[in-house]
Structure formats: structure tokens, C-alpha cells
């Protein structure tokens, strides 16, 4: 069991990382503070873990009411309209200022529930229980929450820290391999930005493998073992817990230095400027992790000619992305393009048009993150037209 404290000028978040904590969630709820719990849970997660979640959240003394609503996690559901539907349910359940909101799911459920809690009575307490690798090491840390609006990602939102984050890495045991891989992209990003030892460790021992050894334990429910055994991770439970902790510490260091994203927090955008544009241009057919991998390779290639990105670092990173199955090869890319009738010219045009709408641009310039070698990053304002010409040359 690991405990971290993320402290900013405005608040502090307690982060607990431990095996099978899902069944003990009630122990993180102070019954003297809350009259009810409103939990939003990913419906696929509920299908697998429903009874454990219900048991885990129920107050033994009946001191608070428990309401659980399921939410289908797909990006197209992360909307203001669905937020309003959830607000209706919050109102129907007579939630008060003393309601604790709980999110159990990936980044989509955490983002929506964070905003729900942030708006209800101008802000209630919220606990995140992230269930994807990406949400454990990234989305649940740092307080950004929001919904997409008129086709633009996360356009309406808040930065408000969760009171607690409870991470149960055992839940990764049921994550589809491709969703697990998306989380690996953020871990590689963290290693590039801030941790040479982690970078070397991932080179020696990638997080995914084609063979999936059984390293996970089972849950205990009403004195019976519940078997959950399919996963895509090549680390043992202890190694994974340590890795998640390290990655939270890296993300937290950027958040603590710049909670409201006006300076160094922008470094976390490494690989994401092109990544987001690429993801959107392929109609989300490439996953977030695959798109970020393209973005990282692009930034490193550009960096080699511009800010002295170390060619050995660029090559090692490319190999790391390949080892984690994140760098889609020409064949796979062509399959996507054929399936979706994306012609070469239109893909480039689409990437560039999405770049023009990037919410991080100011005027005709955009902050672009380069890494020279692990732990040494560099943020520079780049002329958008220049960047678009680079995109045209690459894709």
C-alpha cells in the first residue's frame, strides 16, 4: 500500500494505491462528513465488479445513503447533454452539499464526475477510483475535468482537485489490451520528460508482452474468491504498483509547480499537439496512445534538426514505442485509411485543420514541447504555418 499527498496552493489530494482496495472503499469515506454518496460507474466496469462495488461502498452503519448510476464510457457520450442528465439524477436523489461524489471508471467517468461534483452546490467533495492505466497515472491526477462541446475535446471544464484518489491496480487485470497500451504511452511520455531511470527500466523491461502471465490475485466477495485473470501486463503486481506510484509522482510534480496550466504543466503536452490532431483526423480510428506515439516521434524528428534532440534518444524512444505496440506501422495505418477512405492529401489537410483549432494556440503560434534526452525538455512557441509545413513533409 502506498500513500501520496498532492498539495497545491488551493487544496490537497490524498492518493492511495493498494491491492484490492475496491472492496474497502467505505473505509475512505468519513461518515461524519457525508449524508450521501453519489457514485458514477463505468457500465462495463459495473458488469464485472458490480457486487464488489456495492459491497465496498455501502456504509456498515447505514450512516449515509448510497446511489449508484452507470455510465457508458465512450468519447461521444462525454457531452454537456449527458452531464445535464446526470445532474437530473443528482437532483432526483436529493443530493446535498454534504454529498460525496465518487467516480469509478476510466478518464471519461472521472472527467464527467469531477465536473458534476465541481458544479453541484458550487462544489462538493469527489473521490476518484480510476480503473484504466491512463486514468491511474494521468487523468485522475491534477484536477482537470470536463466535457467535450461542439466537437471540441474538453472545451467546458474546471481545474479542481479530487479530495481522494483510490487506486486498485488489480482492476487492470480486466482491461482490454489496447486500452492498457494507451496508458503505456503516457508512462513513456513521463519517462521522456522527467525520469531517465524509468526510461532505462522500460527499455530493459517493457510493460506489455504478447504473453500474458497470470500475476494478478483474485477478489474476495462474501467469503468466496472471484476470479479475474485476463490482462496484458508483463509486470508483477508489486512492480506495477511501484510504477504507478512513480508516474503519479511525476505528474504531480508538474501539477504542484503549475496547477492552473500557465507554465511548466504545458510540458505534459509532449507528443500531444500532433497526437490530438492525428487522432481527430483519423476519426478516432487510431487510439489515443497510438496517436501520441506518432506525436512523440514527430516531435523528436523535428527536434533533431531544431533543438539538438539527441539522435540516440530519438531512436531509443521509437524502439520503446514499437516494443509497446504503440507505433502503428505503414500496413496498419493503410488499413485504417482504406477502411475510412482517408486519402493521403485529406489526412494531412485534416491534421493541419485540427492544429488550427488547437485550444493551446495563441494567435498564429503554438507552444511545442521538445525533449533533448530523458529529463530535459524544452517548450518553444512555433509558428503554426511552419508546423503545418513540417506535418505536410512527414505524413
How many chain residues interact with ligand NAD (CB under 6 A)? 29
Among 107, 118, 162, 374, binds ligand NAD (CB under 6 A): 107
Q: Long-range contacts made by residues 345-353, C-beta under 8 angstroms, separation at least 24?
A: 347/281, 347/282, 347/395, 348/391, 348/392, 348/395, 350/277, 350/280, 350/281, 351/274, 351/277, 351/278, 351/281, 351/391, 351/395, 352/277, 352/388, 352/391, 352/392, 353/281
104 φ, ψ (degrees, to nearest 5): -125, 105
Q: Nearer Cβ to ligand NAD, position 135 or 320?
A: 135
Q: Does 132 bind ligand NAD (CB under 6 A)?
A: yes
Among 15, 39, 116, 134, binds ligand NAD (CB under 6 A): 134
Nearest distance from C-beta of residue 3 to ligand NAD, angstroms: 21
Q: Does 145 bind ligand NAD (CB under 6 A)?
A: yes
| Dist CA 337 CA 14 (whole Å) | 44
| Residue with nearest beta carbon to ligand NAD | 107
Nearest distance from C-beta of residue 295 to ligand NAD, angstroms: 14
Q: Does 162 bind ligand NAD (CB under 6 A)?
A: no
Nearest distance from C-beta of residue 312 to ligand NAD, angstroms: 29
Nearest distance from C-beta of residue 236 to ligand NAD, angstroms: 18
64: which 3 cell numbers?
449515509
Q: What SS3 state is found at 105?
A: strand
Candidate ranges 37-45, 213-221, 234-242, 338-346; the one touching ligand NAD (CB under 6 A): 37-45
For 109-178, the DSSP string reads: HHHHHHHHHHHGGG---EEEEE-SHHIIIIITSS-EEEEEETTEEEEEEEE---SEEEE-GGGGGGS-HH
Among 14, 44, 119, 258, binds ligand NAD (CB under 6 A): 44
342 φ, ψ (degrees, to nearest 5): -90, 115
Kindly identify the residues of this chain, within the stretch 86-105, that bind ligand NAD according to CB under 6 A.
105
Q: Nearer Cβ to ligand NAD, position 131 or 282?
A: 131
Q: Does 259 bind ligand NAD (CB under 6 A)?
A: no
Sites of contact with ligand NAD (CB under 6 A): 42, 44-45, 48, 73, 75, 78, 105-109, 111, 131-132, 134-135, 138-139, 142, 144-145, 153-154, 171, 174-175, 179, 182
Amino acid at each position: 500500500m502506498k500513500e501520496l499527498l498532492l498539495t497545491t496552493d488551493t487544496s490537497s489530494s490524498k492518493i492511495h494505491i493498494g491491492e484490492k482496495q475496491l472492496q474497502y472503499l467505505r473505509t475512505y469515506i468519513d461518515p461524519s462528513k457525508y449524508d450521501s454518496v453519489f457514485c458514477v460507474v463505468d457500465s462495463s466496469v459495473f458488469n464485472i465488479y458490480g457486487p464488489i462495488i456495492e459491497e465496498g461502498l455501502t456504509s456498515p452503519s447505514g450512516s449515509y445513503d448510497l446511489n449508484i448510476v452507470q455510465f457508458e464510457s465512450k468519447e461521444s457520450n462525454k457531452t454537456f447533454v449527458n452531464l445535464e442528465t446526470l445532474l437530473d439524477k443528482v437532483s432526483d436523489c436529493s443530493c446535498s452539499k454534504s454529498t460525496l461524489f465518487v467516480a469509478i471508471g476510466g478518464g471519461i467517468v472521472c472527467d464527467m464526475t469531477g465536473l458534476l461534483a465541481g458544479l453541484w452546490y458550487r462544489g462538493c467533495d469527489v473521490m476518484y477510483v480510476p480503473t484504466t492505466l491512463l486514468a491511474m497515472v494521468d487523468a485522475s491526477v491534477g484536477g482537470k475535468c470536463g466535457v467535450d462541446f461542439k466537437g471540441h475535446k474538453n472545451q467546458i471544464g474546471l481545474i479542481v482537485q479530487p479530495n481522494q484518489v483510490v487506486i486498485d491496480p488489480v482492476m487492470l487485470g480486466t482491461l482490454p489490451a489496447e486500452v492498457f497500451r494507451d496508458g503505456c504511452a503516457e508512462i513513456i511520455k513521463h519517462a521522456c520528460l522527467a525520469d531517465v531511470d524509468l526510461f532505462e527500466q522500460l527499455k530493459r523491461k517493457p510493460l506489455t508482452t504478447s504473453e500474458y502471465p497470470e500475476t494478478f490475485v483474485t477478489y474476495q466477495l462474501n467469503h468466496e474468491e472471484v476470479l479475474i485473470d485476463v490482462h496484458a501486463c508483463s509486470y508483477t503486481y508489486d512492480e506495477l504498483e511501484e510504477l504507478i506510484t512513480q508516474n503519479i509522482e511525476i505528474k504531480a510534480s508538474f501539477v504542484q509547480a503549475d496547477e492552473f496550466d500557465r507554465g511548466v504543466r504545458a510540458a505534459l503536452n509532449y507528443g500531444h499537439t500532433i497526437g490530438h490532431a492525428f487522432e481527430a483526423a483519423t476519426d478516432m480510428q487510431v487510439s489515443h496512445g497510438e496517436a501520441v506515439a506518432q506525436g512523440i516521434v514527430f516531435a523528436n524528428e523535428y527536434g533533431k534538426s531544431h533543438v539538438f534532440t539527441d539522435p540516440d534518444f530519438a531512436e531509443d524512444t521509437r524502439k520503446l514505442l514499437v516494443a509497446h505496440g504503440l507505433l502503428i506501422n505503414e500496413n496498419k495505418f493503410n488499413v485504417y485509411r482504406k477502411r475510412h477512405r482517408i486519402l493521403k492529401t485529406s489526412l494531412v489537410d485534416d491534421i493541419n485543420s485540427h492544429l488550427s483549432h488547437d485550444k493551446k494556440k495563441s494567435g498564429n503560434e503554438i507552444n511545442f514541447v521538445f525533449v533533448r534526452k530523458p529529463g530535459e525538455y524544452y517548450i518553444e512557441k512555433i509558428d503554426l504555418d511552419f508546423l503545418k509545413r513540417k506535418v505536410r513533409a512527414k505524413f
